[in-house]
Amino acid sequence: MFEFIKDCGIEKIDENDILELEKKYMFKFPNDMKTFYLEHNPGRLNDCKAKVKGGIKLGSFFPIKNTCGRLLTINRLLEWQEIDKLTPMNLVPFASDYADNTFYIDLSKDKYGKIYHLDHEFWPDFRNGEYPRAVADSFSDFVKKIYT
């Protein structure tokens, strides 16, 4: 269905894998994101871009469980995020571009489901209320913007 996902033998997940992550970090993924991950638990991508900020070349979606080569998981990235405290925990990393900048989904009440692209060279000061510009209103909207 999604020709941009490269089949690299990554392990499929089930609802318990998602629930375990949600329970650990006390958040709830949107249903469209859960469905996508249950079907694909994606990892590496074929050559593709997202129609955001002029066309960003995507690198990978972070899987919830297991790894595809040396690919990081959402859980591992959240563990690091919890330690370094540079990014609020309501922003959950789920994908990267080819420059290793990160796409986050916001799971806070007021911005639930919005997608942000954070360039590591221009990191916002979240403590002072800075916030990046949203690149999609929902996970489904983001996926629709991907093209090969």
**1 is a domain residue:** no
pLDDT at res. 13: 80
- Lowest average pLDDT, out of 30-39, 79-88, 118-127, goes to 118-127
Q: What is the mean pLDDT of residues 109-137?
A: 85
pLDDT at res. 145: 82
**62 is a domain residue:** yes
**5 is a domain residue:** no
Best-predicted range by mean pLDDT (28-37, 38-47, 53-62, 95-104): 28-37
Q: Is 66 left (phi over 0), alpha (psi -120 to 50) or beta?
A: left
Q: What is the mean pLDDT of residues 12-37?
A: 93
pLDDT tens digits for range 52-69: 566 777 777 888 876 555
Provide the residue range defining the domain that includes 80. 15-147
**130 is a domain residue:** yes
**48 is a domain residue:** yes
Q: Transcribe the chain into DSSP letters.
A: --TTB----PPP--HHHHHHHHHHHT----HHHHHHHHHH---BB-S-EESSTT-EEEEEEPPSSS-STTPPPHHHHHHHHHHH-SS-TTEEEEEEETT--EEEEE-SSTTTT-EEEE-GGG---GGGT--PPEEESSHHHHHHTEE-
Residues recorded for the chain: 148
